[in-house]
Structure 1
Amino acid sequence: MKILVVGGAGYIGSHMVKFLMQQACNITVLDNLSTGHADAVPAALLHKGDLADVDSLDALFTQHQFDAVMHFASFSLVGESITDPARYYRNNVSNTQNLLDTMINHGVYQFIFSSSAAIFGEPEYLPIDEEHPKNPLNPYGRSKWMVEQMLEDYDRAYGLKSISLRYFNAAGADSDGSLGERHNPETHLIPLLLQVAAGQRDNVTIFGHDYQTVDGTCIRDYIHVHDLCVAHWRALNFLQMHKQSEQFNLGNGSGFSVQQVVDACRTISGIEISTTYGNKRVGDPISLIADSKKAKRLLTWQPKYTSLHEIIAHAWCWHQQQLEHK
C-alpha cells in the first residue's frame, strides 16, 4: 500500500511511520516540521511541505498515486487555541479541507483522521462512548469536531470514506527507546514529570488537588502510543474491507489519577520528582475515561500496554537514551 502520513514527523505520526514500515507499506511523510522532528523519520521518506500549499499538495499526489492518507497534522495545545483560535481553525480545519479536496481530485478515498476526546467537552456520563453528546470546550476541540462533521458531508457528497479515531491521553514511547514524546513547549503530564527526573526542569505543577476523587487529583485515561498505531492499522484494514466510514473512541478503559501518575514516575525513575500544587484549570473535568468497546468489537483491537507502570517505563527509557546522546 502507498500511504501518505501527514504530520508523520510528530509524536504519534513518527511511531505510526515506524509501524507501517514494519508492515512493508510504501510510505511518504508530509510534514512542515513546525512541531515535528526531521530525525524522527527516515530522511528518504520525508517531504517537507505544508497543507496550506495547494499546488505543492497537488504535485505530491500526482507523483505518488496514494492508496490512503493518515492525518496527524493538527495543532493540539488547548490553551493556545483559546488565545489564538485563528491559527487552529486555519491549520486544523482549512488546511485539512485542502487535503480532502486534493484527495478527491486524485481519486483517493480512504482517510484515517486523528481526532480527540476534546470533542466531547464536560462528560455527562462515564465511560464516554461514541454517542456521547459533542460539546467541545475550546477551539482545539471544536476544530476536531468540525473536521469530523466535514468528513460526514464529504462521504455523502463525494464518497470519501474515513475513520475518525478519538484519542484520550496518548502516552508512552516506542518500547526500544528509539522514539518518544518531545514537544516544545511540553504540556503533557508524563513527559513533564520525567523531565524533572532527568534534571531538565525543576518541578511540575499539579492543577487542583481537591477534586472529588480518591486522592483529590483529576483522573485521565492513558493510552500507549503503540496501541494507537495498532488501532490506526486496524482502522485502515476495516476501511479497505467494508468501505464504510466510522468513528471510534480509543482509551485504556480505566483511569489513573494525576497523583498515581506522579507516584508511578517516581517509582520507575527512582527519583523523588518535585511537584507543586496550583489552582484548578477552567474546563478541566474531574474524570475522563473512554468506552472503547466499539473499537474492540469492529476493529478486533485490544490495548496491549494497559499498565501505567509499563507506559511510563517505555517513556523513561526514551528520556534516558536522550540524555546519553547529549
Structure 2
Amino acid sequence: MSVLVTGGAGYIGAHMLLALQDAGEKAVALDDFSSGARWLAPEDIPLIEADVGDQENLAQIINDYGIEDVIHFAGSILVPESIRHPLDYYSNNTGNTLKLLRACVSAGVKRFIFSSTAAVYGKPERVPISEQAPVRSITPYGASMAMSERILEDVAAAHDLSFVTLRYFNVAGADPSCRAGEIGKPTHLIKAAAQIALGYRKEKLQIYGGDYQTPDGSAIRDYVHVSDLAQAHLEALERLRTGGGSITLNCGYGRGYSVYEVVEAFRRVTGEAMDYDVAPRRAGDPAQLIADNAAIRTVLDWRPRYDDIDFIVETAIAWERFLETRKEKV
C-alpha cells in the first residue's frame, strides 16, 4: 500500500513526502515540474514526471504502485495570476482535479486528501473564520478550489471514497533541517522579505495596501508553518484509515499577524530594520484571513509544533541561505 502525492516536487508536496518518510509510510510522488524541482523530493521516494490530468497514465500509476490513498497538491495558487488567466486556473485546478478523481474512482482508491484554501471564503463577514462561513470566492483561484471541493463532496457521496479537505491559510517557512522549502520567484510576503533581508534582492519590500480597516492599516494573515501543515495531512490520513468520515477543516493557527508585524519579526530575527514601500492594494486581497481552528484541533487532535512567527521567519531565512549555495540547481 502506497500513498500517491501529486505535486510532490513542489513546496508543500515535498514537505508532505518528508513527513510520510519520517512516519515510515511508503509514498509515490507525481509532478509535471512546472513549478517544482526534482531535487526537492527525497531521493529514495519514486518521483514520476506526469500531468495530473492524464487519466490513462494516472490509472497505470495507481495500479502499478498499489495506491489506496491520494494526497492532492498539484495546482495553481497565485491570486493575481488567476485574475489575469482565469481559464488556466479553472483548467488546472478544477478540470484536473475532476480527472484525478475519475481515475481514483475507476481504480478503487478509498481515501483522498485535498489541498484547498481559505480563498474560498472571499471577504469573510467575521474573523476568525469557521468552516460554516459562506463560501463566496472573489477570485478565480478561490472559485476554482471551491468548485473542486464541491466535486469531491459529490463524488464521495456517490462512490466508496472518503475525504478530508484542508483549507490552508498562509503557508510559510521551511523544513527546520533545510531538507525542503519554497523555490522560484517569491510570490508571498515571507519569502520575498527573507531574500531582501539577506541582500539577495536589492529592491525595497512592497507592502500592498496600508489603508485596510485593521489596527495598523496593513492586511492581516494567519501564517502556518509548512511542516505543521504536512503533519495535519498525516493526521487526516490516520482519521480516514481508522474509519473517520469525510470532513472539511481549516488549517491555521487561529491568530493573525499584520504585514508590519511580520516586518518587525524580521527585525527581531536579523537585528536589522527592513526598508519598505507601501503600494496600492492588490485585487482579491481581503483585509483579514484568520482561521477558527477549533475543529481541526478536536477532530484530528492536531498539535502544531511551530506556532511562532519568529521561528517561521528563521526557517525561511535559513532556507534562502541554503538556496544561495546551490543557485545553479534552483
Answer yes or no: same fold by TM over 0.5: yes
Q: Is the 8 A contact 2:208 2:281 kept in 1?
A: yes
Q: What displacement does 1:323 show?
A: 2.1
CA–CA distance in structure 1, aligned partners of residues 28 and 272 of structure 2: 40
Equivalent residue for 1:9? 9
CA–CA distance in structure 1, aligned partners of residues 204 and 36 of structure 2: 25
Equivalent residue for 1:26? 26
Q: What displacement does 1:162 show?
A: 0.8
The ranges of structure 1 where at least 4 consecutive aligned residues each deviate by more than 6 angstroms after the TM superposition are none
**Structure 2 matches for 1:60-75, cutoff 5 A?**
60-75=61-76
CA–CA distance in structure 1, aligned partners of residues 123 and 213 of structure 2: 15
- Which residue identity does 2:132 align to in structure 1? E
CA–CA distance in structure 1, aligned partners of residues 146 and 125 of structure 2: 17
Q: What displacement does 1:268 show?
A: 1.4
Equivalent residue for 2:53? 52
CA–CA distance in structure 2, aligned partners of residues 24 and 17 of structure 1: 11
- Which residue identity does 2:6 align to in structure 1? V
Equivalent residue for 2:81? 80
- Which residue identity does 1:192 align to in structure 2? A
CA–CA distance in structure 2, aligned partners of residues 211 and 84 of structure 1: 26
Q: What displacement does 1:197 show?
A: 1.6
CA–CA distance in structure 2, aligned partners of residues 189 and 325 of structure 1: 22
Q: What displacement does 1:271 show?
A: 3.5
- Which residue identity does 2:87 align to in structure 1? A
Equivalent residue for 1:160? 161
Change (3 A) 1:42 1:306: closer
CA–CA distance in structure 2, aligned partners of residues 66 and 290 of structure 1: 32
**1:180-233 Cα shifts (integer Å, max 9, x gaps):** 11233x210000001112222222210111223222211110001111011100
Q: What displacement does 1:150 show?
A: 0.5
- Which residue identity does 1:315 align to in structure 2? A
- Which residue identity does 1:286 align to in structure 2? A
Equivalent residue for 1:282? 283
Q: Give the secondary-structure state (helix, strand or coil) at the position aligned to 2:289.
A: coil
Q: Does 1:137 align with 2:138?
A: yes
Q: Is the 8 A contact 1:111 1:162 kept in 2?
A: yes
CA–CA distance in structure 1, aligned partners of residues 60 and 113 of structure 2: 21
- Which residue identity does 2:18 align to in structure 1? K
Equivalent residue for 1:198? 198
Q: Is the 8 A contact 1:268 1:316 kept in 2?
A: no
- Which residue identity does 1:258 align to in structure 2? V
Q: Is the 8 A contact 1:5 1:69 kept in 2?
A: yes
Q: Give the secondary-structure state (helix, strand or coil) at the position aligned to 1:273.
A: coil
**1:140-177 Cα shifts (integer Å, max 9, x gaps):** 10111001100111011112211100000001110112
Q: Is the 8 A contact 1:196 1:274 kept in 2?
A: no
Mean CA deviation greater in 149-158 or 278-287 = 278-287
* Unaligned ranges ≥5, structure 2: none
**Structure 2 matches for 1:143-292, cutoff 5 A?**
143-184=144-185, 186-201=186-201, 202-292=203-293
Equivalent residue for 1:293? 294
Q: What displacement does 1:108 show?
A: 0.6
Share of identical aligned residues, percent? 42
Q: What displacement does 1:324 show?
A: 3.4
Q: Is the 8 A contact 1:196 1:203 kept in 2?
A: yes
RMSD: 1.3
Q: Is the 8 A contact 1:269 1:316 kept in 2?
A: no
* Unaligned ranges ≥5, structure 1: none
Q: Give the secondary-structure state (helix, strand or coil) at the position aligned to 1:67.
A: strand
Q: Is the 8 A contact 2:18 2:42 kept in 1?
A: no
Q: Is the 8 A contact 1:231 1:299 kept in 2?
A: yes
CA–CA distance in structure 1, aligned partners of residues 267 and 40 of structure 2: 27
Q: Is the 8 A contact 2:306 2:312 kept in 1?
A: yes
Q: Is the 8 A contact 1:165 1:250 kept in 2?
A: yes
CA–CA distance in structure 1, aligned partners of residues 287 and 255 of structure 2: 14
Q: What displacement does 1:43 show?
A: 4.1
Q: Is the 8 A contact 1:172 1:224 kept in 2?
A: yes
- Which residue identity does 2:4 align to in structure 1? L
Q: Is the 8 A contact 1:173 1:181 kept in 2?
A: yes
Q: What displacement does 1:243 show?
A: 4.3
CA–CA distance in structure 1, aligned partners of residues 284 and 97 of structure 2: 26
Q: Does 1:128 align with 2:129?
A: yes
CA–CA distance in structure 2, aligned partners of residues 46 and 227 of structure 1: 23
Equivalent residue for 1:35? 35
**1:81-128 Cα shifts (integer Å, max 9, x gaps):** 111111111111111111111111111120000000000000111110
